Amino acid sequence: MRVFAAKLGKAFLTGCGIRVSVFCISWRNVTAEDRGLSLDDDRKLGVMAALDAIASIVPGQKIHAAGYCIGGTLVALAAAAMAEVGDGRLKTMTLFAAQTDFTEPGELQLFIDDSQVSFLESMMWERGMLDRSQMIGAFQLLRPNDLIWSHMIHDYLMGERTPMIDLMAWNADATRMPYRMHSEYLRRFFLGNDLASGRYMVDGRPIALQNIRAPIFAVGTERDHVAPWQSVYKIHYLSDADITFVLASGGHNAGIVSEPSHPHRHFRIATKAPADLCLSADEWLAEAPLRESSWWPAWTSWLTERSAPEQAPPPMGATEKGYAPLADAPGTYVLQS
């Protein structure tokens, strides 16, 4: 991962009225030459490099970190490592469909045991990476009626091509993962559950999610076949921080990309303070009231309550800080095949 050269400067957060400086990082579409990149490289060259850049461009400001799926897991890992050494740069942490405890990862567990991981490692060893087609195929097999057969019937047998929409295009834009990183991810998290159990080591020291003190906003989705919401909910059992949990309608993608103008959306939300009783997922579901609409305004309100007064955004590019633009937007990664 690398920090995007272009910063989304003075931006409105999804039209909900919050004016913030937004910085993004992106997965780098790796090649065989990147086979040795590790999970800790993702932490250091991705999350921590981004935080260092932000701290240099906007000095003295607390940072609201957000991560999606594996990116959210990496944000949680980085936050725990930061807490271990007293790095207090994070103001809040938002996790979108991100697991931190992998004891019940849902149907994906069908594809992950020692023998299958060993087989996958053998394939990745030859190519140096996990190819996008292998990842897409695994996710499609979790919901074959929706993601395979319905499209075959509609597009092939009936000859009616489904028109492309933005979410479908984004969903098709998968990326590759380096051999070492993906192997560590499967073995350390899915098989060993090292992050939740306090066995994951950073710089020779075990890290604990219990040490995170920044408020957490976690989002699960009702029909998530990649990160089931009950698994995402387990952050409640792992952190003593203030946790606001949202259960949104939709699946792993559409439940997160759920703009306020989108019809037929609903969500549930509740906050657990450190002194509150921790409910099970089923108990939480029974008590959290149902709200009609997108959950995005609730998130922006949550951020507003925890944000400093509005300030002028920093200059685009921040060349004087040593972060000169590398290329015009949208950058070079989108050109990789």
Residue 10's φ and ψ, nearest 5 degrees, are -85, 90
pTM for the complete prediction? 0.85
CATH code assigned at 182: 3.40.50
Distance CA 86, CA 119 (A): 40
pLDDT digits (tens, 9 = 90+) for 221-235: 999 988 999 999 999
Distance CA 228, CA 64 (A): 24
Distance CA 46, CA 133 (A): 24
Distance CA 100, CA 73 (A): 6
Average pLDDT for residues 14-23, to the nearest whole number? 61
pLDDT of residue 47: 95
The structure tokens listed for 17 are 């009225």
Does the structure show a pLDDT above 60 at 16?
no
pLDDT digits (tens, 9 = 90+) for 253-272: 889 999 998 888 999 999 99
pLDDT digits (tens, 9 = 90+) for 315-326: 666 666 677 777
pLDDT of residue 126: 83
Active site includes 69? yes
Cβ(296)–Cβ(265) below 8 Å: no
pLDDT of residue 3: 33
For the chain, the domain total comes to 1
Residues 6+ apart with CB under 8 A from 93: 64, 65, 66, 75, 76, 79, 212, 214, 215, 216, 217
Cβ(182)–Cβ(124) below 8 Å: yes
Segment of 10-24, 83-97, 174-188 carrying the highest mean pLDDT = 83-97
Domain that holds residue 44: 2-335
Catalytic residue (one of 16, 24, 69, 278):
69
Average pLDDT for residues 153-164, to the nearest whole number? 68
pLDDT digits (tens, 9 = 90+) for 92-110: 999 999 999 999 887 777 7
pLDDT of residue 220: 98
Residue 284's φ and ψ, nearest 5 degrees, are -60, -45
With CA atoms as reference, report the closest residue to 143 among 70, 224, 219.
224
Cβ(24)–Cβ(8) below 8 Å: yes
Kindly report the three-state secondary structure assignment for every residue of the chain: CEECCCCCCEEECCCCCCEEECCCEECCCCCHHHCCCCHHHHHHHHHHHHHHHHHHHCCCCCEEEEEECHHHHHHHHHHHHHHHCCCCCEEEEEEECCCCCCCCCHHHHHHCCHHHHHHHHHHHHHHCEECHHHHHHHHHHHCHHHHHHHHHHHHHHCCCCCCCCHHHHHHHCCCCEEHHHHHHHHHHHHHCCHHHHCCCEECCEECCHHHCCCCEEEEEECCCCCCCHHHHHHHHHCCCCCEEEEEECCCCCCCCCCCCCCCCCEEEEEEECCCCCCCCHHHHHHHCCEEECCCHHHHHHHHHHCCCCCCCCCCCCCHHHCCCCCCCCCCCHHHCC
With CA atoms as reference, report the closest residue to 183 among 242, 138, 122, 95.
122
Residue tagged 């092939």 (tokens)? 156
